[in-house]
Amino acid sequence: MAALNYRHLRYFWAVAHDGNLTRTAERLNLSQSALSVQIRRLEERLGHALFERRGRQLHLTEAGRIALDHADAIFAVGEELLGTLKEAGRARRAVRVGALATLSRNFQIGFLRPLLARGDVEVVLRSGTTAELLRGLETLSLDVVLLNQPPARDAAAAYVAHRLAEQEVSLVGTPALIGEGGRLVDLLRRAPVVLPTLESGIRTGFDALADRLGLRPQIAAEVDDMSMMRLLAREGAGLAVLPPIVVKDELEAGHLWEAERLVGIAETFYAVTAERRFPNPLVRELLRAEPLAAASSPRPTDASARSRQG
C-alpha cells in the first residue's frame, strides 16, 4: 500500500482552513489548477471526496472533516517538535491557554498574572466549549485548559486535572435591589434572579437550595456566560447567582453589593493538562503560583453594610 503523501495533505489542510481555492493558491504561489490536482490525488489516495462545491464556495464533506481533524493533529505535532527542540535547553516563550467560555474573566486574569508582566512571554488565550478545549489539548494546540469541573480520564485521553481553587457563590445585585437586605428567603421572594443555565453546577445547587426553602423565585434571565450575568446584574435585571470574583471590580466600586453568601454552593476551578513528554515549562510556573490568590476576592459584605449604615 502506498504511503500517504504529506505534501498533498498540507495543501488540503491549507485550502480547508482558507475555504477558498483561489486565495490559497495565491498564498502558496501555485496555480489554481496545480493545487486542484494535488487535492484530487489526495482524494484518490483516501478513496473519498474531501470537498463539495456550493456556488463559489468549497465545503468539507464528512470525510473532509475527518481528514481535517487528523491534519490538524499531524501539523500541530510538527509545530510542537520545532518549538520544543529548536533551542535545546531554553524554555519556550509562548503559552497557549484555553478557557471555558463561561468561566470568570477575573479568575482567568488571576491565573495568568504571573506571566502577564513578563516581556519575554507571549500568552495566547482562547475560549470554547469543554469538548473544543480538550480537543485542543489532544492536538497540542493548547498547553493548558481552565475548566470548572475535571474531565473524564481514560486510556485514550490521559488528562491531569489540577484543582486550583474553590469560590463560594453569592447573591449579588445593585444597591437598589438589595435595599436594606434582610433574610435570604425575603430577598428571593422580593427580587427576580439571574441564573446560570441548567447545565451549570451552580444552577443545580441553587435549585436545590430554593427547593429546601420552599421557594420558586422569579427568573429574570438564564445565561450561560458569566460576563453577561455581570452586565445584567449591573443593569439591575435581578439578583445574580455567581462567584463574587466575577464582579470583583463592581463590588469594590460599590456598584454592586453582595447580599448573601449561598452556603454549600461553590464553583471549583481546574487547570487541565495532557500528559506529554515535553510539557511547556511556562505551564509549570503557572501551576506553582498561588492558585488560591487567583480565585480569592475581598468580602464586600462589610463594605456594603457600612454603605447602608452610612
In tens, the pLDDT along 20-54 reads: 888 888 988 899 899 999 999 999 999 999 998 87
For residues 251 and 275, membership in a common domain is answered with: no
Strands 122-128 and 94-100: parallel
Q: How far apart are CA 184 and CA 223, in angstroms?
A: 22
In tens, the pLDDT along 240-270 reads: 999 898 898 899 999 999 998 998 898 889 9
Domain endpoint, select from 39, 67, 84: 84
**92 with 280: CB under 8 angstroms?**
yes
The letter for the amino acid at 127 is S
Cell of 296: 480569592
For residues 106 and 251, membership in a common domain is answered with: no
For residues 204 and 153, membership in a common domain is answered with: no
Say how many domains are in the chain. 3
The letter for the amino acid at 35 is L
**28 with 14: CB under 8 angstroms?**
yes
Residue range of the domain that includes 129: 90-165+269-295
Domain endpoint, select from 35, 54, 84: 84
For residues 100 and 110, membership in a common domain is answered with: yes
Given a cut of 80, whether residue 167 has pLDDT beyond it is yes
For residues 301 and 207, membership in a common domain is answered with: yes
- Between the two ends of the chain, the Cα-to-Cα distance in Å is 83
Residue 145 located in a structural domain: yes
**146 with 286: CB under 8 angstroms?**
no
pLDDT at residue 275 in the model: 82
Residue 291 located in a structural domain: yes
Domain endpoint, select from 84, 106, 127: 84
Residue 1 located in a structural domain: no
User: Domain of 56: which CATH number?
Assistant: 1.10.10.10
For residues 141 and 278, membership in a common domain is answered with: yes
Q: How confident is the model at residue 90 (pLDDT cuts 50, 70, 90)?
A: low
pLDDT at residue 154 in the model: 63
pLDDT at residue 84 in the model: 64
